[in-house]
Amino acid sequence: FRALTDLDSEDPSVKPLLDLYNSVNSGGSRLEVVQVFIPPWVGFRQCGDPDLPRMFRQSYVGVPWYTMPIDDEVKWVRLKHRCRGKVGMLVLLCALSGKVLHKDASERLEEDPQGQKFPWLPRPVPLVMCEAAQ
């Protein structure tokens, strides 16, 4: 989830995610994205700002995935709580089961921007323990 900060520029999360989306979907795998657009005034100003449609169109029209705005403060607070207060998360779900594979896959996107190791399955516990010990 990303907050839009500069109305005149693209959301910085779109370019790497678009590259990954195109790379993965050109092969045999399938990546679907649902991006949540969080207006910067949510939590600070009255909901229902008339600029929302314009901001939304400037930033997210043309991306090949689903994008939805949240301009309801109650929903935003719930979402933020579920994400443990982190904004900028990339959550990966298994398409078949709906199981959460990664609660914050931004790290994986940085490590493998072309998605050559996609799907990024959770690493085995012994490997994680070995890496932590080093």
CA contacts within 13 A on the Cβ side of 118: 28
Q: Is the pLDDT of residue 41 over 70?
A: no
Residue-range definition of the domain harbouring residue 119: 2-133
In the structure encoding, which two tokens stand for residue 105, read together? 């896959």
pLDDT-derived band at 39, boundaries 50, 70, 90: low
pTM metric for this prediction: 0.61
By percentage, how much of the chain surpasses pLDDT 70? 62
Each residue of 18-33: b (16+ CB within 10 Å) or e?
A: bebbebbeeeeeebee
- The predicted structure's pLDDT at residue 2: 41
In the structure encoding, which two tokens stand for residue 104, read together? 């914050």
In sign, the C-alpha dihedral spanning 11, 12, 18, 20 is: negative
Q: Identify how many contiguous H helices and E strands the chain contains and give both numbers.
A: 5, 5
- The predicted structure's pLDDT at residue 38: 66
Number of structural domains the chain divides into? 1
In the structure encoding, which two tokens stand for residue 100, read together? 């959460």
In sign, the C-alpha dihedral spanning 75, 78, 83, 88 is: positive
- The predicted structure's pLDDT at residue 112: 87
Q: Which residue has the higher pLDDT, 59 or 34?
A: 34
CATH of the domain at 34: 3.40.30.10
Q: What does the pLDDT look like over 51-96, one tens digit per residue?
A: 656 666 666 667 787 777 676 777 777 777 776 656 556 777 777 7
